[in-house]
Chains A and B, each alone.
Chain A
């Protein structure tokens, strides 16, 4: 079904509610509605048409159209369509009906919108601060155009503390994070524990929020931003690089040359390889099996060397510019890459064979951290977490980009919906990635690496791009702007959605399984916390000190 056909369906269901529609291509649809009908339209799309929720975006469009803009993005995976439901809000008091009660996955998107742009989601039941640090004053919204990018508001109060929820009856509070040996990045899960079982948790995160979106809109230029985007994440940098560039290319209607698309595909799959191998090792380390951790890192090392030979760096490839790529894969590199892939495959097969027969690891991971298909739909979980629950979604096949429409591969699904299934999904995807790279090497055509861009990019166009990161779908939304920089750039990383499923996954499980459940979504907190401000160093970590937490737990436990 193309965008036009889907639009005809929309017109039949709620024709008079649509104010405007943009159909830039066969698989993109932007529908503008009145703010009061957003709830009705999104409910219909999410429930009756069974779309998948992707992101909620708030933007300050006042210098250009005089209004605020809200966009709820959905994906029709089977129809290969990405759709946005947009509404313009009046500038003096921007508010919109919350859709979280029907679409639980939108919970964080709306809280972020409120924190950063100041658009109030009316009817949201859990309006605590999500992104901004505790001391940030109310009424100061960093992503508004009248807030400077390098200024701390005068009323910033470093002493203010975050107000945590009360623990349920009979539960002890076990603080997990922000400093914990398992987590690579700071995040605070406040577990409510009864004996050995976890009864609930509260999450306070966004401690590595860096102001990337504001920087991009204020001082960077189109070709500078890929270097910034790839530093959003410590493992999946190439994904954000490619996704941003693709969304700008889509907005400006540029098509990169075929050789560039193949090279992008190869580098994306190389990144998937090293990320999945790292994850398998990390999961084994969390359950105490250090030997497999060391072995998977040993097997993974040649890929890092190969990436260094192609791009100059092991992880930050600095691959894309608007309209193409910067690095070429010469015939010698092709030969070496094939040899590396052969060796990797021959070493990984016996490891996976040994692990799948290993009862010891299965005992720790079967039945743990269960996220079934219902939770996947409601919270919008993506990536291996969803595929392990039997939900067959993969952006490489559903919304093809780069050269994925020209290669063949299988999408691996399992039925167990627990940590063991996720391990199997990731381990088997390694072989699919190797297959894709081999096909790309065979089919790669000669040609230029970059487009000749002669005219300046048009202003005010929207572009969407969904790229399958190793952790799930990474979704970028760009509105092009003046002065050679985008007007709004929103990054929705996969961990952003998957983290919202954690409280349901660890409920009624043992505390010992908490870390492996958290590890099984392959969390990348740097991807999740991307926004504002340059100067902040302190914040919630220092204020809520260990002594205070201890006093609180002892008081609660009646000691």
Chain B
């Protein structure tokens, strides 16, 4: 499977450096290594979800408990979480660090991913969610750290879009 193990390790390492202790996730191809690395990490609790919106509640609970958390999901999972984001994270000012695999854009071969690719950034903008499109390996650590810093200081959801260039080795 040509999902980048090297870059998955880099992201996982960065999450550790950010003191992320709880990660909720719903599997998708690009995230398989990242989810496995989280699962094998004794310092992290992995919560495998039935649906991504649950992660908003779980991260809110973690935040109340003083534990830093992250959400791993595909962009379609972000679409499925929007009510939770608006009527919990935004309404109650809950910081969320959302790592979202950005499917359905340039280079996408799966037809079923393409509509979600079209609407991901417009929806993030409409929701007022700060986001960064992560496609350069050199900036991974810095941008994820910055995203977490902003989420914690602004008490709001912040998204990092994980692109094909980063997650996939052709």
The yes or no verdict on A and B being binding partners is: no
Tell me the B residues contacting A by CB distance below 8 Å: none
